Structure 1
Amino acid sequence: MPFLRGSLGFERFSVTGFDADAFGDEHIEILAQHAAGKFQTANTENVHVGFLGGEHLFDQDFSLEKNVINNALHCSVRIDTNKIPAAIRAAWMQMELAGMAKDSEDGTVTKAQRKEAKEAVEQRCEVEAESGKYRKMQYFPFLWDFDQELLYFGGSVGNASGLCMDLLESSFGVELRHIGAGTVAQNWAVDADRYAEVDDLLPISFVSQFVQGSHTWANEHSQAPDFLGNEFLMWLWWYLENESDTIKLADESEVTVMLNKTLALECPNAESGKESITAECPTKLPEALQAIRSGKLPRKTGMTMISDGRQFDLTLQAERFAISGAKIHLDDDEEFTDEDRIDAIRLLSQSTDMLFHVFCDLRSGKQWKGIEKKISKWIAVAEPQGQKAAA
């Protein structure tokens, strides 16, 4: 099962409205009733969505023993599309019209014949669709953590995730809400009694000659301050370079962090383009510093994080707070069960959030102006590691 082996990639959704004390047989029955290949949605584009047992693309077997592990429900959603490609439809239409033109005395096609050709193509599409020739299947794993009221979705947010969320909501009577950086910040603000302060925050520029407004990549349908994710990565970069690689969290525990492998930056005003850097330590390279001096902000970075003695390698997307390519390191002689794996996923999720909470506390506090000045000064005068050594 995808969440139980290999590298991890997920976006998160909060789950509300689930009226049960635990996952039980009735929920397994819901999965079976809406299994992929059995349940069909009334969709004009012939899209069918259903659950899978999680083992493979055709797994329709569900049970408490198999699918409920450590108080978390693990299975998949399969999306079947059965749509004739537009290019093929157009070709069939041209073939129909060409045949009619050939049979006519003047080589032209009447309006009535065009309508007849269109009906013939539609009929052919129905026949071809029923054959399954153009069927496409995609499946996406998910892990529904009952204790945290959280759903980990093994895919990116888009049309596919929308279909999957619709199926989960209608089947289980719940409401799902995507959790991005802004949502994490707002949830922290409610608990910390800082909601007004966070609600008043606006995007900032760390480079004095650039005036910062709304980011061009911002979700216009969301009021959540997702821009804090980009500023968080900038603060984290500065902190690791100038303060320490160890950060104390609110619960007095510590995490050790190193940025590595990959770094993606982009101009929030769509003026100076994008920069993608792949290297062992991308933040040390001159092109990385040049990118932030030109006003670009980090949108994605690779990192190694050690929390509670467990090491994770992962890539974090700033605004969506999505994790990809995450690896859980094990000791050579360590026995790691499925229950342990789910606990490790919880630790990864919670540690990443709590690291972000440290930034939220600073960003919404009185000390932020001083920190912002330090970051701006560092950007202006910092030299790449190689140039420092040469000097």
Structure 2
Amino acid sequence: MPFLSGSLGFERFSVTGFDAPHFEEEIIEKLSHHASGKFQTSSTENTSIGFIGGDHLFDQHFDFGKNIIHDALHCGVRVDTNQVPAAIRKAWLQMEIAGLAKDNASGRPTKTQKLEAKEAVEARCEAEAATGKYRKMSSFSVLWDRLQSLLYFGGSGAAAAGHCADLFERAFDVELSRVTAGTVAINWAIGAGKLAEVEDLRPAAFVPAHTHGELAWANVDSSNPDFLGNEFILWLWWTLENETDTIQLSDESEVTIMLTKTLTLECPLGEHGKETISAESPVKLSEAMQAVRAGKLPRKTGMTLVRNGTQYDLVLQAESFAISGAKIHVDEDDGYGIEDRIDGIRELSETVDLLFQHFLARRVSSAWSQELQQISSWLSSEKPLLQSSAA
């Protein structure tokens, strides 16, 4: 499974309500009790979610030595769906209605015929679903890190992540909350005694000619300041270009940063679309700077981080802080094992958060207004840039 080898991609959830000092055998019993495939029906709307052992799609073997690694629980979640596609249901309904209404003088179906057609389609869907013809299975790897109180979900998409969170909450009587740029900011603010300052923050106007309020992609149901993730990437870009590529973090370690491979920018007003630039160093290309000068903000970037002697390559999504395509560069001939891999994931997660927290400390400081002015001046300057990647 991806958490134990290869490249990484994940979203994170904070886990509360689990106070045990260690994982015990009871955890394995709960995995087995909620194993995939134990609860299935032929309902056309059925979605069945359960745990798998982690080796393959049908692995229902759970074992303490296999699934508990270095104070972390590693397993998989399988999501089974058994639903007739909407397009097929719609086609069946139209066919039923056409057959029932073909002898009507008006050529249009009656209300009774519409109801009869709907009932016939529902019955057909039930019969088709019972055959298993439309059953689909998908699996996702998960890593529950007890030390960090984090659940790493090895997938993307709100529906799959929601199914996974619901399963963990039911199985282990815990509460999961999605980690985003905004939640990292709020948690940092509480610990730093800066909650009021963070709650008062509003999106910064980096380009005065292109001011905006709430971002077009903002989650209207969330009060978390996820826009700080977009500002973080732009601030990081400016810092690397004008100040330093090495930043000292709050734990006194240092991280060296490069922005690499990919950069996605989007208009915060939702008026001018978005663009993705792929290059060895996309921030060096003219179209990247032109996009920011036109008011677009970064939504995703590739980066390389080096901290404590380990290099991490990854792509960071600004608002959700989801990570994709991550690689931990190590010398596997130097005794690198699975426990080291788990530590590497922990340190990758910690490094991104500490770097973001460094930005937050500057964002709420009295010096921010001057720094914002410097960023605006940098954006308005006409420094020579590398030619367009399309040229």
| 1:5 shift after superposition | 1.0
| 1:108 shift after superposition | 8.1
SS across alignment from 2:142: strand
Counterpart of 1:231? 231
Counterpart of 1:193? 193
Counterpart of 2:77? 77
Matched, 1:276 2:276: yes
| 1:138 shift after superposition | 1.5
SS across alignment from 1:263: strand
**Rounded Cα–Cα distance in structure 2 between residues aligned with 1:231 and 1:31:** 40
- Cα deviation, 1:227-256, whole Å, max 9, x if unaligned, reads 111111011000001111111101111000
Counterpart of 1:342? 342
| 1:384 shift after superposition | 4.0
Query: After superposition, where does 1:152-171 map in structure 2 within 5 Å?
Result: 152-171=152-171
**Rounded Cα–Cα distance in structure 1 between residues aligned with 2:107 and 2:358:** 75
| 1:332 shift after superposition | 6.2
Counterpart of 2:299? 299
Matched, 1:209 2:194: no
**Rounded Cα–Cα distance in structure 1 between residues aligned with 2:75 and 2:233:** 32
Q: Summarize the Cα distance change of 1:298–1:114 in structure 2 as closer, same or farther, 3 Å threshold.
A: closer
SS across alignment from 1:333: helix
Q: Summarize the Cα distance change of 1:2–1:97 in structure 2 as closer, same or farther, 3 Å threshold.
A: same
The unaligned stretches of length 5 or more in structure 2 are: none
SS across alignment from 2:209: coil
Counterpart of 2:249? 249
**Rounded Cα–Cα distance in structure 2 between residues aligned with 1:236 and 1:315:** 14
**Rounded Cα–Cα distance in structure 2 between residues aligned with 1:382 and 1:331:** 43
The unaligned stretches of length 5 or more in structure 1 are: none
Aligned partners of 2:42 and 2:126 also within 8 Å:
no
Counterpart of 2:122? 122
| 1:287 shift after superposition | 0.3
Aligned partners of 2:43 and 2:82 also within 8 Å:
no
SS across alignment from 2:306: strand
Q: Summarize the Cα distance change of 1:43–1:303 in structure 2 as closer, same or farther, 3 Å threshold.
A: farther
Query: After superposition, where does 1:137-152 map in structure 2 within 5 Å?
Result: 137-152=137-152
Q: Summarize the Cα distance change of 1:210–1:101 in structure 2 as closer, same or farther, 3 Å threshold.
A: closer
Counterpart of 1:45? 45
Aligned partners of 2:44 and 2:129 also within 8 Å:
no
**Rounded Cα–Cα distance in structure 2 between residues aligned with 1:98 and 1:252:** 73
**Rounded Cα–Cα distance in structure 1 between residues aligned with 2:41 and 2:308:** 45
**Rounded Cα–Cα distance in structure 2 between residues aligned with 1:332 and 1:338:** 10
**Rounded Cα–Cα distance in structure 2 between residues aligned with 1:22 and 1:174:** 15
Counterpart of 1:372? 372
Aligned partners of 1:286 and 1:383 also within 8 Å:
no
**Rounded Cα–Cα distance in structure 1 between residues aligned with 2:60 and 2:364:** 49
Amino acid at match of 1:258: M
Q: Summarize the Cα distance change of 1:343–1:111 in structure 2 as closer, same or farther, 3 Å threshold.
A: same
Counterpart of 2:22? 22
SS across alignment from 2:216: coil
Amino acid at match of 2:351: S
Amino acid at match of 1:196: A
Aligned partners of 1:41 and 1:49 also within 8 Å:
no
Question: Which has the larger displacement, 113-122 or 298-307?
Answer: 113-122
Amino acid at match of 2:326: A
SS across alignment from 2:208: coil
CA RMSD of aligned residues (A): 2.1
| 1:2 shift after superposition | 1.9
Amino acid at match of 1:281: S
**Rounded Cα–Cα distance in structure 1 between residues aligned with 2:19 and 2:218:** 34
| 1:24 shift after superposition | 1.5
- Cα deviation, 1:288-341, whole Å, max 9, x if unaligned, reads 110110011111000111011000110001111111000111226323211110
Aligned partners of 1:80 and 1:138 also within 8 Å:
yes
Question: Which has the larger displacement, 159-168 or 339-348?
Answer: 159-168
Q: Summarize the Cα distance change of 1:272–1:113 in structure 2 as closer, same or farther, 3 Å threshold.
A: closer
Aligned partners of 1:40 and 1:49 also within 8 Å:
no
**Rounded Cα–Cα distance in structure 1 between residues aligned with 2:102 and 2:268:** 57
- Cα deviation, 1:273-300, whole Å, max 9, x if unaligned, reads 2121000110000001101100111110
**Rounded Cα–Cα distance in structure 2 between residues aligned with 1:121 and 1:85:** 12
SS across alignment from 2:20: coil
Question: Which has the larger displacement, 358-367 or 268-277?
Answer: 268-277
Amino acid at match of 2:159: N
Q: Summarize the Cα distance change of 1:100–1:5 in structure 2 as closer, same or farther, 3 Å threshold.
A: same
Aligned partners of 1:250 and 1:358 also within 8 Å:
yes
Counterpart of 1:184? 184
**Rounded Cα–Cα distance in structure 1 between residues aligned with 2:199 and 2:101:** 66
Amino acid at match of 1:15: V
Question: Which has the larger displacement, 272-281 or 254-263?
Answer: 272-281
**Rounded Cα–Cα distance in structure 1 between residues aligned with 2:110 and 2:178:** 52
| 1:370 shift after superposition | 1.3
Counterpart of 1:353? 353
| 1:110 shift after superposition | 5.9
